[in-house]
Amino acid sequence: MHQKEALDGCITVTNARGFGEPYRGKVRDVYNLNDNTIGIIVTDRISAFDHIMKQAIPFKGQILNKLSAFSFEIVNDILPSHIIEVPHPNVTIAKKCNPIPVEIVIRGYLTGHAWRVYKNGGRNLCGVRLPDGMKENQPFNEPILTPATKATSGHDEDISEEEILDRGIVKPDVWQHIREKAFRLFERGSKVARKQGLILVDTKYEMGFYGNELTLIDEVHTSDSSRYFYSQGFEQRLKEGEPQRQLSKEFLREWLMERDFRGLEGQILPDLTDSFRWSIYQRYSELYQILTGTSFDPLIVENINSELEKIFPEYS
C-alpha cells in the first residue's frame, strides 16, 4: 500500500443511487433502507470542536466500524446494539432506532473538557460538584456522568441530569435505566482496556429505542467516542505533572489549539498536513491493534458508491 494512494483515496462523502439522500453526520452517512433498517457508512471524515476537518484520515472509517463491531459484541449482554450485520469494512446495517437526544458521557478522570472547565475555576460540571485541589488527569473517586445535549448543528452543550428531567427530555424511570446501563458499560469497557494495558479515561454513549427496547447505537469504546491512557507510567506522569501518553482525539484538539483554533466564531480552520494525517491513521490503527489483539488490514476502496449499490438491495 502506497501512502499517497491511501491519502488520496479517503472516503469523504457517499451518494448511493436509488436510496435517497443520506443523513450526513460528522463522520457517518446514514441511508434509510426500509421502515426498520438503515445503512450506515463510516467515512474517513474527522471532526474536532464540532467542526469537520477539511482533510480526511486514511482508513479511519474502516477502523472505527470494525472496532465498534468488536466492542458492541463485548457489551451485548449489558445492552443490545443496533447492529444487524457488517457486510463491508465501511458499512454497518443496523436497526432503525428512535434516538435519545442526549449524549451520555461517563468520566473516570479529570481531563479534556472537564479539566478545561476546572482549570478556569468551574467546580460544577453538568450538576456534578467537583472537589477542590484536583490535578489534571487525576482519577475521580467514582466515575461521574456528565451528559450533553445532541445538537443538530453547532456545539453540543453540557446539561445536568436534573435539567434533563425538568425539561422532560427523558422520563425519570427511563433515565434511571439509561444511567445504570451507562455505568455498567463503562465498567466493562474499563475492564477490557485494563487487560490490554490501557485506561478507559472517559467515553460517550448514544442510545435509542427499537420498539420498546433500549438499544446502544452509533459507536462504542472507539477512539472517536473515548479517551484512553497507557497504564504503564500513568502514576509517575501524574505525580510529576507530565502529559499522559494517550490514544484519543485529544492530540488533534491540542494540535488545533496550538494553531489558534477552538471552534469559535471567526477562527480559521487549519489544513491538516499529509504527514499529520498519516500519523493520525497510525494512532487509530494502533488502538485497533491493542484493543482487539489483531492487526488492522486496510482495504483499498476504489468506488464506495458502486459497492453500496450492490450491498443495499439485500437489506432494503
Does residue 133 surpass a pLDDT of 90?
A: yes
Does residue 155 surpass a pLDDT of 70?
A: no
What does R_g of the chain's alpha carbons equal in angstroms? Answer: 19
What angle is formed at CA 245 by the lines to CA 219 and CA 158, rounded to 5 degrees?
45
Does residue 176 surpass a pLDDT of 70?
A: yes
Q: Could you give all domains of the chain from N- to C-terminal order, each with its CATH number?
A: 3-97+262-314 (3.30.200.20), 99-251 (3.30.470.20)
The share of the chain scoring above pLDDT 90, in percent, equals: 90
C-alpha grid cell, residue 76: 451485548
SS (H, E, C) the chain: CCHHHHHHCCCCCCCCCCCCCCEECCCEEEEEEECCEEEEEECCCCEECCEECCCCCCCHHHHHHHHHHHHHHHHCCCCCECEEEEEECCEEEEECCEECCEEEEEEEECCHHHHHHHHCCCCEECCEECCCCCCCCCEEEEEEECCEECCCCCCCEECCHHHHHHCCCCCHHHHHHHHHHHHHHHHHHHHHHHHCCEEEEEEEEEEEEECCEEEEECCCCCCCCEEEEECCCHHHHHHHCCCCCEECCHHHHHHHHHCCCCCCCCCCCCCCCHHHHHHHHHHHHHHHHHHHCCCCCCCCCCCHHHHHHHHHHHCC
More confident residue, 16 or 154: 16
The share of the chain scoring above pLDDT 70, in percent, equals: 98
Whole-angstrom distance, CA of residue 148 vs CA of residue 136: 21
Does residue 224 surpass a pLDDT of 90?
A: no
Count CB atoms within 10 A of the CB of residue 237: 16
Residue pLDDT, tens place only, 254-313: 899 999 999 999 999 999 999 999 999 999 999 899 999 999 999 999 999 999 999 999
Does residue 55 surpass a pLDDT of 90?
A: yes
